[in-house]
Amino acid sequence: MTHRRSPYEAPELYDLMFDTLDFDLAFWLAVGREAGGPVLDLCCGTGRILLPLLDAGVDADGVDLYRPMLARARKKAAAKGHRPRLAAADMSAFRMPRRYARVISAFNAFAHADTPDDQLATLRCARKHLLPGGAFVVHMSYPGPRYWAEPEGEPVMELEVRRPGDGRRIQMWDTRVKDVVGQRQRSEIEIREIDEAGAVAKRTGFETSQRWVYRYELELLFRLAGYARWEFFGGFAGEPLEGEEQQMIAWAWNGRARPRVKAPAGGGAAPRTKTRP
């Protein structure tokens, strides 16, 4: 098996698994179109959200820790005639040359802020890059008791796609180990390439970890980070956050202006995977 330290150092495989994932795309396009100014995609990766924003005419930039991801995002953007600002930096300590109407953190990216200090630094850095009245918009899965009680230490297939060209099946298997008290999940991820006979022709291994936050924990973090107000929803259509298996959407404003938030129509269910795509 070929081992890599992080799935975010393998952008080709990453795109193969996640590039077509679109369950949240309508929401982020609505956020970008209604921002009234530039948008910063925090942990933009290879551009799963960033490129559709640019295609929709949104003035958008990106930040990501991993240079291989940014290199692929830059190449994909250039092929479409876009030239966004892309910065290689930690989400807790980035510096961009302008401020934004929206800073967005899509599908579980904020879970990579591993400690309260990291979380506060990330929120403060994002707020410093917001225009007055701008908002930081965060989406995170909301693991309930059922998630923490799931068996662990056994590989579970979470995604399967067909590779363009030869049509081979590519599977993502996740072996999770959870720390309930620490609210952490460590994953050993294996990408398996399945040949025509159904045998595993190639395996590539990765490791990643994430730390989950809950509503009132995040509310306190917003308060400490200096945001003026915040609002929470339980899904992409603006549902109340009241069920243990919902998706958490949080808005935190830099200043007291309250922009209109219009929920997009529809919106699919989030996939089971907790890896940040």
> Read out DSSP for 103-142?
EEE-TTGGGG--SHHHHHHHHHHHHHTEEEEEEEEEEEE-
Instruction: Identify any residues that bridge with 210 across adjacent strands, giving them in sequence order.
Output: 185
CATH of the domain at 128: 3.40.50.150
Residue 187 belongs to domain with CATH number: 2.20.25
Contacts of 266 (CB under 8 A, 6+ apart): 26, 237
**Are 135 and 42 within one domain?**
yes
H-helix or E-strand containing 200?
strand 200-211
**pLDDT at res. 256:** 72
Give the residue among 180, 200, 188 at the shortest CA–CA distance from 153. 188
Sheet bearing 60-64, strands edge to edge: 86-88, 60-64, 39-42, 100-105, 130-141, 247-253, 229-233
Q: Would you say 176 and 157 are in contact if contact means Cβ atoms under 8 Å apart? A: no
Residues 81, 216, single domain; the answer is yes
Do 239 and 170 belong together in one domain?
no
In this structure, the answer to whether residues 90 and 131 fall within a common structural domain is yes
Residues 113 and 231 in one domain: yes
One domain, residues 193 and 221: no
- All residues at 6 or more sequence positions from 181 whose CB lies less than 8 Å from its CB, including other chains: none
Total of domains in the chain: 2
Structural domain of 170: 145-210
Of 210, 241, 262, the position where a domain reaches its end is 210
Residue 53 placed within a domain: yes
Q: What gap in Å lies between CA 21 and CA 273, rounded to an integer?
A: 11
- Helix (H/G/I), strand (E/B), else coil: 201: strand
Question: How many residues would you count in the chain?
Answer: 277
Looking at the structure, do residues 76 and 122 belong to the same domain, yes or no? yes
**Do residue 153 and residue 129 come from a single domain?**
no
* Range name among 40-44, 65-69, 253-257 with the lowest pLDDT average: 253-257
Residue 180 belongs to some domain of the structure: yes
Q: What is the Cα–Cα distance from 118 to 92, expressed in whole angstroms?
A: 6
Whether the CB-CB separation of 232 and 243 falls below 8 Å is answered with no
Residue-level pLDDT at 265: 45
How far apart CA 100 and CA 20 sit, in angstroms, is: 27
Q: What's the whole-model pTM score?
A: 0.91
Pair 49, 21: CB distance under 8 Å:
no
Residue 5 counted as domain residue: no
What's the whole-number average pLDDT of the chain? Answer: 91
Summarised one tens digit per residue, pLDDT across range 180-232 is 999 999 999 999 999 999 999 999 999 999 999 999 999 999 999 999 999 99
162 part of a folded domain: yes
Assess if residue 268 is contained within a domain: no
Any domain includes 263: no
Query: Which stretch of DSSP H or E encloses residue 187?
Result: strand 184-194
The tens digit of pLDDT for each residue in 117-154 reads 999 999 999 999 999 999 999 999 988 899 999 989 99
pLDDT 10s digits, 20-54: 899 999 999 999 999 999 999 999 999 999 999 99
Nearest to 183 by CA among 126, 154, 225, 141: 141
The verdict on residue 156 lying in a domain is yes
- Are 92 and 117 found together in one domain? yes
Asked whether residue 205 falls in the same domain as residue 217, the answer is no
Q: Looking at the predicted structure, is the pLDDT value of residue 272 above 80? A: no
Sign of the CA dihedral running 276, 112, 189, 77: positive
pLDDT beyond 80 at 97? yes
Strands (DSSP E) along 27-183, which ranges?
39-42, 60-64, 86-88, 100-105, 130-141, 156-162, 169-179
Residues 122 and 169 both lie in one domain: no
Q: Are residues 80 and 201 in the same domain?
A: no
Q: Which of 210, 232, 264 is the last residue of a domain?
A: 210
CA 78 to chain centre: 22
With respect to residue 54, please indicate whether it lies within any of the assigned structural domains: yes
pLDDT at 268: 58
What single-letter DSSP state applies at residue 163?
P
